[in-house]
Amino acid sequence: MAETDNKIVDLPTFLDLDALDGVRDRLLEVIETGPARINGAAVERVATNALLMLLSAAETARKAGFGFEIAGPSAAMTGAIDRLGLSPRFAPMIRGL
């Protein structure tokens, strides 16, 4: 599918425990129907659980045969990914750095 067919999920400024349910529901809605593009530009704070949820969503999309990419993640988001040692897992899906 063309990149323009990706459905966009805009991550909130505070991707913390309070935001997880809403983000999870939106991710499920999107990855059940096609490729997803996650916009991480606005993220200022991110919880470890949120990053693990993104990895899980990426795997779910992969198993369904759909693409999953994170576009332009913020410095706060990439910093958290680096600190947790998750860079090797996220690197294949990050775009726009």
User: 8 vs 3, 80, 82, 85, CA distance in Å?
Assistant: 11, 22, 24, 26
Question: What top-level class would CATH report for the domain 3-92?
Answer: alpha beta
pLDDT tens per residue, range 58-82? 999 999 999 999 999 999 999 999 9
Distance (Å, whole) CA 1 – CA 72:
21
Confidence of residue 26 (pLDDT cuts 50, 70, 90): very high
pLDDT of residue 97: 52
Q: What is the pLDDT of residues 78-94, one digit of tens each?
A: 999 999 999 999 999 99
Please report which confidence band the pLDDT of residue 6 belongs to, taking 50, 70 and 90 as the band edges. Answer: confident
User: Could you tell me which of 94, 80, 18 has the C-alpha nearest to residue 51?
Assistant: 80
Domain ranges of the chain: 3-92
